[in-house]
Amino acid sequence: MPQIETEIPASHMPPSTKTAILVIGGAEDKVHGREILHTFWLRAGGSDAAIAIIPSASREPLLIGDRYQQIFEEMGAKFTKVLDIRDREQGEDPYFQEYIEQCTGVFLTGGDQLRLCGLLADTPLMERIRGRVQQGEITLAGTSAGAAIMGHHMIAGGSSGECPNRALVDMAIGLGFIPEIIVDQHFHNRNRMARLLSAISNHPERLGIGIDEDTCALFEKDGWLRVIGRGTVTIVDAREMSYTNQTEVGATEPISLHNLRVHILSHGDNYHLHLQKPVPKQ
């Protein structure tokens, strides 16, 4: 097992063009091909990667942090460290900040997205991660709860088995790494189309992104996302919506949404966030 240090030589940083943001729908393969986690490891620098695992969404942070640490070490990451943040004061810990300053990949585990935001939002640590991600210096990945927090608006909870209505989804503010999207995860697995539609009805200027389990929307810095993994990524684009009654109806009444554009993308398909354009696998 490689020794964990906070000092990482600058030469180990991957070229900034290789960084990306991986938004994972949960339950990614941790045993067999591990395609998604392997892609994260590669894009974080491969054998030169210095990875920070933040398990703070989970109520079993030691267990889950250790699991991912073992995986990335087995793949050959140079440095791995679990940042076991359990209170907001740790977001100011200089030791953690120093590691973030020099790492090449940050992985946010699953758990509860409200817990993750509550512990990390607006801390110096999170602001530094955000800055380095925006500069293209860090590859960021989040799975399940760690995916939910990617947008400015975040789905905090909700249910299924109903037509779109305001009470079907609980919204909160996310960590905003990709502010223009609203993410839903475990998407078709947990039948979440109606809850994503309910969320989008209130924020039609945002792009709804539903990600299935063991599936990843990999966001490149140039605005393209690419699908990897076993399921689909569903894009709900309401930017040309011609009508909704969302503001007029009661919380449990059905919501109308006219003229949505929907794309179901599978492995290898691409979509451009701003061109609003899907491109099939070549």
Question: What would the x/- binding string for its own copies be over residues 115 to 154, using CB under 8 A?
Answer: ----------------------------------------
User: Is there a catalytic annotation at residue 213?
Assistant: yes
Contact call for residues 182 and 209 (beta carbons, < 8 A): yes
By CB under 8 A, name the one of 161, 250, 251, 282 that touches its own copies.
Answer: 161
In this structure, the strands spanning 50-54 and 21-24 are unpaired
Task: Round to whole Å and give the CA distance between 183 and 73.
Answer: 29
Contact call for residues 116 and 146 (beta carbons, < 8 A): yes
By CB under 8 A, name the one of 61, 164, 176, 204 that touches its own copies.
Answer: 164
Instruction: Give the nearer residue to its own copies in terms of CB position, either 114 or 249.
Output: 249
By CB under 8 A, name the one of 47, 70, 134, 191 that touches its own copies.
Answer: 191
Q: Is 232 in the site for its own copies (CB under 8 A)?
A: yes
Residue 277 CB, shortest distance to its own copies, in Å, is 9
* Lookup: tokens for 176: 């905003």
Region binding its own copies by CB under 8 A among candidate stretches 47-55, 71-79, 98-106, 230-238: 230-238
Region binding its own copies by CB under 8 A among candidate stretches 13-21, 61-69, 217-225, 227-235: 227-235
**Distances, alpha carbon 111 to alpha carbons 13, 100, 258, 277, in Å:** 29, 21, 34, 32
Q: Is 245 in the site for its own copies (CB under 8 A)?
A: yes
Contact call for residues 139 and 147 (beta carbons, < 8 A): no
Which residues have CB under 8 Å from 281's CB, separation 6+? Answer: 266, 267, 268, 269, 270
Q: Is 84 in the site for its own copies (CB under 8 A)?
A: no
Q: Is 35 in the site for its own copies (CB under 8 A)?
A: no
Task: Round to whole Å and give the CA distance between 217 and 226.
Answer: 6
**Distances, alpha carbon 128 to alpha carbons 45, 53, 92, 122, 219, in Å:** 19, 15, 11, 10, 20
Task: Round to whole Å and give the CA distance between 91 and 97.
Answer: 8
User: Is there a catalytic annotation at residue 263?
Assistant: no
Facing residues of 158 across strands? 169
Region binding its own copies by CB under 8 A among candidate stretches 61-69, 103-111, 130-138, 242-250: 242-250
Residue 216 CB, shortest distance to its own copies, in Å, is 13
Which residues in this chain contact its own copies in the complex, by CB under 8 A?
A: 160-164, 187-191, 193-194, 197, 212, 230-232, 242-243, 245, 249, 253-267, 269, 278, 280-281
Residues recognised as catalytic: 144, 186, 213
